[in-house]
Amino acid sequence: RAGLATRRLGRVVEYRETVGSTNDLAKEMARQGAPEGLLVLAEQQTAGKGRLGRSWTTPPGAAIAMSLVLRPDLPPHAAPRITLAAAVAVTEAVREAAGVAAGIKWPNDVQVNGRKLCGILTEMEAEMDRVAFVVLGIGLNVTLRREQMDPSFRETATSLALEGAPPVRRAALVQAILARFEAVYDELLGDRFDRVLDRWRALSVTLGQAVRALGLDGQPVLEGVAEEVDQEGALLVRDGAGQVHRVVSGEVSLRPA
């Protein structure tokens, strides 16, 4: 906690050696009234979760597994902005603190050379038409080695060590991520999400690319060029006929076309 540059995020930490999923623990604590800023950290997850019900691997000591409880005063439809803001914070922190050329694959993957370095999973609970809480989960591969990866993602994943980054303390990285996230989160809450989006665009590896969107069943639903991201964090894709489609995260998986 020494060296923490934030005002309200990560001031209270729930640290566990082993946990099923830091997101699940943070959600439980949020339901019991945990305040904004509570940070759950774990050395190891035994049931880490990815998007769309997939699993996420976190071997002991090889990664950062963190979940933040947030209580933004936002309507539920604006909550995806938090995911984009988090991707900006992680990517900038990784570039600065670890010197790795990371970029953002829409909406929430932090990649290096096309391989996934970090995944972000935001889960929300709403009451009426307001957000009750959001749990922002970040999984970042630090020293993860190929042998520790399941063959199913060995070719698509990477870690800071595999990308040749000099050793960096995980605590320092967590602090860097929190400091940057607090700043972008404040902009978002202050109606300055446009500034966050500018930074997102600058780091995006998706915009300008030919992409294929796969539906939840893995079938292609759309192909075209990713042109823009809107205020809600949706991706605008222009198909071959010139028509623009709005793609919402949570409904599709994006692949290079």
Q: Which of residues 75-134 bind ligand BTN (CB under 6 A)?
A: 109, 119-121
Question: From CA 137, how far away is CA 27, in angstroms rounded?
Answer: 10
CA distances from 75 to 12, 132, 134, 191 (A): 26, 10, 12, 13
Q: Which of residues 2-21 bind ligand BTN (CB under 6 A)?
A: 21
Site for ligand ATP, rule CB under 6 A: 50-52, 54, 56-57, 109, 116, 119, 139, 141, 152-153, 157, 253-254
Q: Are 257 and 211 in contact (CB under 8 A)?
A: yes
Tell me whether residue 46 or residue 152 sits nearer to ligand ATP (CB atom): 152
Which of ligand BTN, ligand ATP, none does residue 157 bind (CB under 5 to 8 Å by kind)? ligand ATP
Distant-in-sequence, close-in-space partners of 158: CB < 8 Å, separation ≥ 6: 111, 112, 113, 115, 116, 117, 141
Which of ligand BTN, ligand ATP, none does residue 38 bind (CB under 5 to 8 Å by kind)? none
> Binding of ligand BTN at residue 65 (CB under 6 A)?
yes
Question: From CA 120, how far away is CA 110, in angstroms rounded?
Answer: 8
Pull the structure tokens for residue 2. Answer: 């020494």
Tell me whether residue 142 or residue 179 sits nearer to ligand ATP (CB atom): 142
Q: Which of residues 20-49 bind ligand BTN (CB under 6 A)?
A: 21-23, 45, 48-49
Alpha helices in the chain (DSSP H): 22-31, 80-98, 170-189, 193-203
Which of ligand ATP, ligand BTN, none does residue 57 bind (CB under 5 to 8 Å by kind)? ligand ATP
Tell me whether residue 65 or residue 211 sits nearer to ligand BTN (CB atom): 65
DSSP 166: P
Tell me whether residue 156 or residue 231 sits nearer to ligand ATP (CB atom): 156
Q: Which of residues 136-155 bind ligand BTN (CB under 6 A)?
A: 137-139
Give the CB-nearest residue to ligand ATP.
50
Size of the site for ligand BTN (CB under 6 A): 20
> Binding of ligand BTN at residue 57 (CB under 6 A)?
no
Min CB(144)–ligand ATP separation in Å: 6
Question: From CA 235, how far away is CA 215, in angstroms rounded?
Answer: 14
Q: Are 190 and 168 in contact (CB under 8 A)?
A: no
Tell me whether residue 52 or residue 210 sits nearer to ligand ATP (CB atom): 52
Question: From CA 196, how far away is CA 86, in angstroms rounded?
Answer: 10
At residue 24, φ and ψ (nearest 5 deg) are -65, -45
Give me the helix-helix angle, 80-98 and 170-189, nearest 10°.
140
Min CB(220)–ligand BTN separation in Å: 20
Residues near ligand BTN (CB under 6 A) are: 21-23, 45, 48-51, 54, 56, 65-67, 109, 119-121, 137-139
